[in-house]
Amino acid sequence: MVEAFIFDLDGVITDTAHYHYLAWEKLGNEIGIKIDEEFNETLKGISRLQSLEKILILGNKENDFTNEEKEKMANYKNSYYVSLIENITFKDVLPGILELLEKIRLNNIKIGLASASKNAVKVLNNLELTKYFNFIADAAICKNSKPAPDIFLMAAKGLNVNPINCIGIEDASAGIDAINDAKMYSVGVGDREILNKAKFVVDSTEKLKFEALIKLFEVKN
Ligand code: G16
Ligand code: MG
């Protein structure tokens, strides 16, 4: 029996993945590292500082900066990102998500959030979706970020449910690894090749249908 749906935020509930990209691209321009959409794919679901490390490696600049400078760069990226999410409203909820949340709630199934973003609460508030969530895992106190299962396990614990009875929904390959390692049923939204480790993949959020997901989960058990 499905006890909970646990959602990733960026790229699943709203398209902030694109804003993260714009903010990293802006930092990249400052430090002379070109970030394209393909490389950005590898940053999805990865924490802020880990993303910065990957970008510096991409530009062969991993030994060029002190920790203090790296902190400043991460803050620079975040300030721009925060300015971009300031104007997010309920209109930015991706297609099908509101309907899905409504149906889950109507069926008395719990809803959790497992985002790597320290800005998740703000984004959810701006989207006016906070009321749907029974528990929001706090990325700030999560030791190991995706692909480690920790944030999904933290969500299951906060919801007081068994991970094997959870459906996890993600847009990032690292997130699918996290869900699988947490022993949850993994659903990917996006490119089938990138998300090839997911148990089930849809190419857009409007194809996330409550009844179909429940059926898939029941069949696998
Ligand atoms: C998100 C994004 C990542 C981002 C991370 C940290 O994770 O996918 O690109 O680096 O959060 O975000 P912040 O800098 O706001 O703390 P998720 O798990 O919601 O996809
Ligand atoms: Mg994501």
Q: Do residues 148 and 160 lie in contact, with contact meaning Cβ atoms separated by under 8 Å?
A: no
Q: Is 10 considered catalytic here?
A: yes
Are residue 10 and residue 36 in the same domain, yes or no?
A: no
Confirm or reject: Cβ of 116 under 6 Å from ligand 1. Answer: yes
* Closest by Cα among 14, 65, 11 to 27: 65
Are residue 154 and residue 104 in the same domain, yes or no?
A: yes
Domain containing 78 equals: 17-87
| For ligand 1, atom 12: residue with the closest CA | 117
Mutation test residue for ligand 1: of 8, 48, 194, the one with most atoms within 8 Å of CB: 48
Are residue 34 and residue 101 in the same domain, yes or no?
A: no
Q: Do residues 172 and 60 lie in contact, with contact meaning Cβ atoms separated by under 8 Å?
A: no
The pLDDT value given to residue 127: 98
CATH number at residue 115: 3.40.50.1000
Query: What does pLDDT average to over the chain?
Result: 96
Are residue 135 and residue 206 in the same domain, yes or no?
A: yes
Q: Do residues 134 and 159 lie in contact, with contact meaning Cβ atoms separated by under 8 Å?
A: yes
Confirm or reject: Cβ of 16 under 6 Å from ligand 1. Answer: no
Q: Is 8 considered catalytic here?
A: yes
Q: What is the mean pLDDT of residues 177-202?
A: 97
CA 120 to ligand 1 centroid distance, Å: 8
Q: How many CB atoms lie within 10 A of CB 116?
A: 25
Are residue 128 and residue 148 in the same domain, yes or no?
A: yes
For residue 145, give the ligand 1 atom closest to its CA.
18
Number of domains making up the chain: 2
Last residue of a domain, one of 47, 72, 87: 87
**Structure confidence by residue, pLDDT tens digits, 76-130:** 999 999 999 999 999 999 999 999 999 999 999 999 999 999 999 999 999 999 9
Identify residue 181 by its one-letter amino acid code: D
